[in-house]
Amino acid sequence: MIWEQLVNWRNAGADLSTTDRREILEDLFVFGKDNQLPFYKRMSFLLIVSTIIACCGLMADSAAVVIGAMLVAPMMRPVMISAAAITLGWTHYLYQALLLTLAMAVGAVGIASLFAFVSPELVEIPGQVLARTEPTFFDLVIALAAGSGGAYTLTHKESNALPGVAMAVALLPPLASTGILLVFLQNDLALRAFVLFFTNFAAMVLAATLTFLYLGISPRKALERSAQSIRNFLLAFSLLVVGVSVPLYFYSTEVWYDASYQANQSKELQAWLRKNELLIDDVQIDEERRIVLLKLLGPNPPLSVETLHDELEKAHYAKTGTQAKPFSIEVLWTQTARFSWPPEMSQQSDERTLRKDYSVGLLAFTWRWIGTQYADGDWLRPGKDNRQSYSIKARNKSSFDLKTHCRSGTGSYELQQEEISASIDLEIDESCETAKVDKRFITDLNHVINVNIAQDHMTLRLASDAGVMHFETASPQ
């Protein structure tokens, strides 16, 4: 029943005359032993030349050169021969075309590997090579459309359209990328690049076969005589395409909705970045160890990664109603600065105050210490029972009172806009139960270089980006 529908569908689209059919087959297939050797020589030469061009384009990271290699590459011919052979029921020619494809694939990988081996050593893998290691569901759809377009082009002798089909589906560049990646010892990426080639080949053969059937390249008698063979090969290639489409779909979701996408969609993360005047340079998520790695850029270090962690936990609970599995956030921060010349023009064109005077805020409040976050991610905090014991209070513009759990005293400081330095000479009794915390607190105050006050929160940045001390207002003057 299904086969009768297929025959009727084929008859509905058939518009090829006997003469047209003969001309198409003569152009597509190589008949006669005398013609086969020149054909294989021509294919070999074009394969070598196109692979070298592709390698040059890939390793030089030039998309234009890679496109040129696609135009020279002879890979479209065995694809169309395979599809036509299935349609006609010519299993002998089908096996020849498949063997030719396999030989060309192995040859292209080998040539690319040799070319990469003798080429100057690269510091990193070029972007054009890496672009062939991320096959997605779109590649499968493109290959299906291109296979159908290639078959239509051949049957209607639209020779000007065939190069466009060759450019739409990358058959040779993934093979060249596979060879290059093998030299780089990137076996996983090499496998992905080869999967892209295999996906394109299988999808193009299937789509071209169905198009050839619809256009009537096979006479009705030949179609009925080879019905079983055609059905089997159609089923085989259909299973291959379906089998490839499933992992491609799930891999596509990983590519499209990767860590960068999730970071951009996180309202909590974006709000935290705006508050800290930071930009994301890169973000990675380690699912196994449950670590979020943020590479950030900005003039000031992150005020509190702990706050971000708490906000993300709250967002997960609000969305799912369950507690988030334990995870950690690691931050790599790179300080950035903005310069211009002449500086007067920059000050006139920038309405923002680039430098702030924090002397008023420092004098107005008693600042209670709530913790110090160090560059390695560790924290130093006062104990729960003595959180009120650590504070600083400026007396005037040169001295301040200092209070720790073990002892109180005074210190001096110099403040110029955001730049600050402090000097404290206060000995802590070793018998005090919090002596280590008190000493570290005083040591850190002696190494502060920058102050930032935002409402009821003050941060003091330590020299050499060693960390950030956090304070909150305790009481107004």
Same domain as 40, residue 157 = yes
**CA 21, 241, 206: angle at the middle one, nearest 5?**
0
Same domain as 338, residue 244 = no
pLDDT tens digits along 65-100 = 888 788 788 888 888 888 888 888 888 888 888 999
Which pLDDT score is estimated for 342?
Answer: 53
Same domain as 117, residue 250 = yes
Which pLDDT score is estimated for 399?
Answer: 92
Same domain as 368, residue 340 = no
Same domain as 113, residue 13 = yes
Which pLDDT score is estimated for 248?
Answer: 72
- CA–CA separation, 40 vs 29, rounded Å? 12
Which pLDDT score is estimated for 87?
Answer: 87
Determine contact, residues 58/176, Cβ cutoff 8 Å: yes
Same domain as 153, residue 60 = yes
CATH number of residue 397's parent domain = 2.40.128.270
pLDDT tens digits along 279-302 = 777 777 776 677 777 787 887 777
Determine contact, residues 320/313, Cβ cutoff 8 Å: no
Which pLDDT score is estimated for 14?
Answer: 54
Q: What is the pTM of this model?
A: 0.56
Q: Within a domain: residue 281? A: yes
Same domain as 244, residue 102 = yes
One-letter amino acid identity for 189? L
Same domain as 264, residue 249 = no
Same domain as 394, residue 471 = yes
Same domain as 147, residue 134 = yes
Q: Within a domain: residue 427? A: yes
Domain that holds residue 54: 2-256
Examine the fold and report which residue of 216, 233, 256 is the final residue of a domain before the chain moves on. Answer: 256
Which pLDDT score is estimated for 281?
Answer: 74
Which pLDDT score is estimated for 312?
Answer: 76
With the C-alpha atoms ordered 245, 251, 256, 257, is the resulting torsion angle positive or negative? Answer: positive
Same domain as 87, residue 47 = yes
Q: Within a domain: residue 354? A: no
Which pLDDT score is estimated for 8?
Answer: 55
Q: Within a domain: residue 191? A: yes
- CA–CA separation, 375 vs 377, rounded Å? 5
pLDDT one digit per residue (tens) for the chain, 477 residues: 445 555 555 554 455 667 777 777 777 777 767 777 888 888 889 889 988 998 888 888 888 888 878 878 888 888 888 888 888 888 888 888 899 989 999 999 999 999 888 887 776 788 888 877 777 777 888 888 888 888 887 777 655 545 545 554 678 888 989 999 998 888 888 888 888 888 888 888 898 888 888 887 777 776 777 777 788 888 888 888 888 777 776 665 555 444 555 566 677 777 777 777 777 777 777 766 777 777 878 877 776 778 777 877 887 777 777 887 787 878 777 777 655 555 544 444 444 444 567 788 888 889 999 889 887 777 888 887 787 889 999 988 899 999 999 999 999 999 887 889 999 988 888 889 899 999 999 999 999 998 888 778 888 989 887 888 999 887 544
Examine the fold and report which residue of 227, 256, 285 is the final residue of a domain before the chain moves on. Answer: 256
Same domain as 344, residue 233 = no
- CA–CA separation, 363 vs 367, rounded Å? 10
Number of domains in the chain: 3
**CA 454, 457, 462: angle at the middle one, nearest 5?**
95
Examine the fold and report which residue of 195, 223, 256 is the final residue of a domain before the chain moves on. Answer: 256
Determine contact, residues 324/308, Cβ cutoff 8 Å: no
